[in-house]
Amino acid sequence: MPVSDDVAAGTTVLALEGSELVTVEQVSSVEEAVVAMAGHIRTATAGRPARIGVGDAVVPDLAQALEDHMTDAPGVTEVVRYLVGPSIGAHMGAETVGAVYLTA
């Protein structure tokens, strides 16, 4: 992954639940961030049929790591990639990776 662990040190993994932004986990490495995001999605989808979107702006290797964690998750029927746009990147940073999901 191209992002150094120094970048992720002390990073908070966030999720939008309803209209609230909640902390999923505080992590200290890129690998921990990927695992936390994948774990949150697995818990939220609870094995139901789900389509997952994984996005990034300039860190495709990091997004690929998240995609790799999701492709074998129970219930995942499709994983698609998207680009994080400038409005999100401006607020969250260029090396932002995100995911969305839709359950059946």
Joined tokens for residue 3: 């992002």
4-62 pLDDT, tens digit per residue, is 555 555 788 999 999 999 999 999 988 999 999 999 999 999 989 999 999 998 999 99
The whole-number pLDDT of residue 93 equals: 80
The whole-number pLDDT of residue 1 equals: 39
* Of the candidates 40, 9, 38, the residue with the CA atom closest to the CA atom of residue 26: 9
Confidence at 91, pLDDT banded by 50, 70, 90: confident
73-87 pLDDT, tens digit per residue, is 999 999 999 998 888
The model's pTM is: 0.85
Architecture of domain 5-103: 2-Layer Sandwich (3.30)
What residues contact residue 44 under an 8 Å CB cut-off, 6+ apart? 15, 101
